[in-house]
Amino acid sequence: MGGGGPHVVVVGAGSTGAAIAHDLALRGFAVTVVERGEVGSGTTGRNHGLLHSGARYAVTDPVAARECIEENLILRKIMPEGLELNGGYFIALTPEDMDFRQTFLEGCEAAGIPTRELTKEQLLRMEPRLSPKILGGVMVPDGVFEPYRFCLSFLASAQARGARVLTYHEVEGVLVEGGRTRGVQVRDRIRGRELTITADAVVNAAGPWAAKVAATAGCRVPLILAPGVMIAVGVRYSHRVVNRLAPPGDGDIIVPQRFTSMIGTTSWTVQDADLIPIPPDHVERMMDAGEAFFPGFRRQPKRGVFAVARPLVGPEEDQAEGEGFERAVTRDFACKHHEAEGAAGLFSVTGGKTTTSRLMAEAVVDQVGRWLGFERPCQTRTEVLLPPRRFFTERVVS
């Protein structure tokens, strides 16, 4: 297994865990990924599939905006088989949206996001199904990924370098002895048995469940669970991604993919991410928002309605609650080493975006490597990933 380096267990095979596994394997660590369900069955699989250009955050969160555009450009090179790269628009529906345009363009410029202004007429020619009521817009280098295959690509590449990926294996506890993390206690959900996996370090990338995993070692992960509702309809309304030219809000992104369009999203907070009931009024709001861009949207038969929780980095104090509040929290990510809490070698990663998962992985593996005294340069910026299907064709099962 692996390149002879220390053994690291990664908990969770969402985009964060998958990217971390790949980075670790590429730097010569021995890697075991433990995922309680299918790859991407947490937040990642059910996300919007938007390869952010960063423009969405250009005004509200310049750091996230810059990270997005940098990662967007890297992913284009390392994931040639997994992206629809047709760009996206920010479209004004109201005069206020048009007023926001200048601020938006300045934000994009500061973050290094290329833009192109488009008139109403140009937009309607390029996207004939847009509402004739639109006022104008800006084009940006957004793209579309498939969340599941995004994860599979990273995992296939990790596997090719010896990583073991145990799906349907649930971490029941992080094992700590004398202030040091020794491994994980795992339930093999396929065979219905328990096993212990020893490790030199454990990276907790369990997304919205990261706090639960850390709690088994008596550690705390400040986390806000902020779900969003998404709806797919069986018509592709546009060639490119459509965003509202306004500060981030509800139902302001429509991602086309194959012959469908997906609108999202809303935001509220929950305590438990296992089963998130869908608020009916959120569905109505999304369909109305879609109608504003594309007349007829509301009447389309739905092809999936779902909600998952963003694992946002929370305040160190008690979790705050309520609607509206979460969108102000930075989209940045955090990697917490639980050494001071008596679990040296346990690292919890939260926040970020699928678009920035490679970058998060780089930062996490730098930190883990430093602590383990196994420092190798990160190589994920240029290493071309394997196609997603290779995860299944070259599977090494326990």
Partner 1 sequence: MSWRLTLKIHRWQPGDRAPYYDHFTVEVPEEAYVLDAIEKVWAEQDRSLAFRHACHHASCGSCGLRVNGREKLPCITPVTDYPNGSTIQIDPLRHFPLVRDLVVDMGPFSQAMEAVRFSIIRHASEGVPDARSSEPPILPEEDHEATRFENCLECGLCVSACPIAGSALNYLGPAALAAAERMLVEPRGVDPLAVWEAIDHDDGLWRCHGAFECSAACPSEVDPAAAIMRLRRYGPKVGQVARQQRR
Ligand X SMILES: Cc1cc2nc3c(=O)[nH]c(=O)nc-3n(C[C@H](O)[C@H](O)[C@H](O)COP(=O)(O)OP(=O)(O)OC[C@H]3O[C@@H](n4cnc5c(N)ncnc54)[C@H](O)[C@@H]3O)c2cc1C
Where does this chain bind ligand X (CB under 6 A)?
A: 11-17, 34-37, 41-44, 47-50, 52, 170-171, 205-209, 213, 227-228, 230, 264-265, 308-311, 352-355
Instruction: Answer with the entry of ligand X, partner 1, none that 280 interacts with (C-beta below 5 to 8 A by kind).
Output: partner 1
Shortest Å, Cβ 321 to partner 1? 22
Shortest Å, Cβ 3 to partner 1? 25
Shortest Å, Cβ 114 to partner 1? 15
Decide if residue 280 touches partner 1 (CB under 8 A).
Answer: yes
Instruction: Answer with the entry of ligand X, partner 1, none that 354 interacts with (C-beta below 5 to 8 A by kind).
Output: ligand X
Decide if residue 77 touches partner 1 (CB under 8 A).
Answer: no
Taking CB under 8 A as the binding criterion, the range among 92-100, 107-115, 143-151, 325-333 that sits at the site for partner 1 is: 143-151
Instruction: Answer with the entry of partner 1, ligand X, none that 204 interacts with (C-beta below 5 to 8 A by kind).
Output: none
Taking CB under 8 A as the binding criterion, the range among 18-26, 52-60, 147-155, 171-179 that sits at the site for partner 1 is: 147-155
112-151: b or e for each residue (b if 16 or more CB lie within 10 Å)? Answer: ebebeebebeebeeebebbeeebbbbbbbbbbbbbbbbbb
Omega of the bond leading into 60 within 30 degrees of 0 (cis): no
Q: How far is CA 305 from CA 229, 231, 263, 265, 283, in A?
A: 7, 5, 10, 11, 8
CB 165 within 8 A of CB 155: yes
Shortest Å, Cβ 23 to ligand X? 14
What's the burial of 29, exposed, middle or buried (CB within 10 Å: 0-12/13-18/19+)? buried
Distance, CA of 386 to CA of 22 (rounded, Å): 11
Distance, CA of 167 to CA of 149 (rounded, Å): 15
Complex with partner 1: residue 118 or 368, whichever CB lies closer: 118
Instruction: Answer with the entry of ligand X, partner 1, none that 171 interacts with (C-beta below 5 to 8 A by kind).
Output: ligand X
Residues 6 or more apart whose Cβ sits within 8 Å of residue 30: 1, 2, 3, 4, 5, 6, 7, 8, 162
Nearest Cα to Cα of residue 93 among 142, 131, 53? 131
In this structure, what token pair is assigned to residue 42? 């947490």
At 315 the three-state DSSP class reads: coil
Shortest Å, Cβ 200 to ligand X? 19
Decide if residue 259 touches partner 1 (CB under 8 A).
Answer: yes
| Among residues 160, 283, 329, 344, the one that binds partner 1 under rule CB under 8 A | 283
- Binding-site residue total for partner 1 (CB under 8 A)? 58
The residue nearest ligand X at its CB is 14
Distance, CA of 281 to CA of 286 (rounded, Å): 9
| Among residues 98, 124, 195, 235, the one that binds partner 1 under rule CB under 8 A | 235
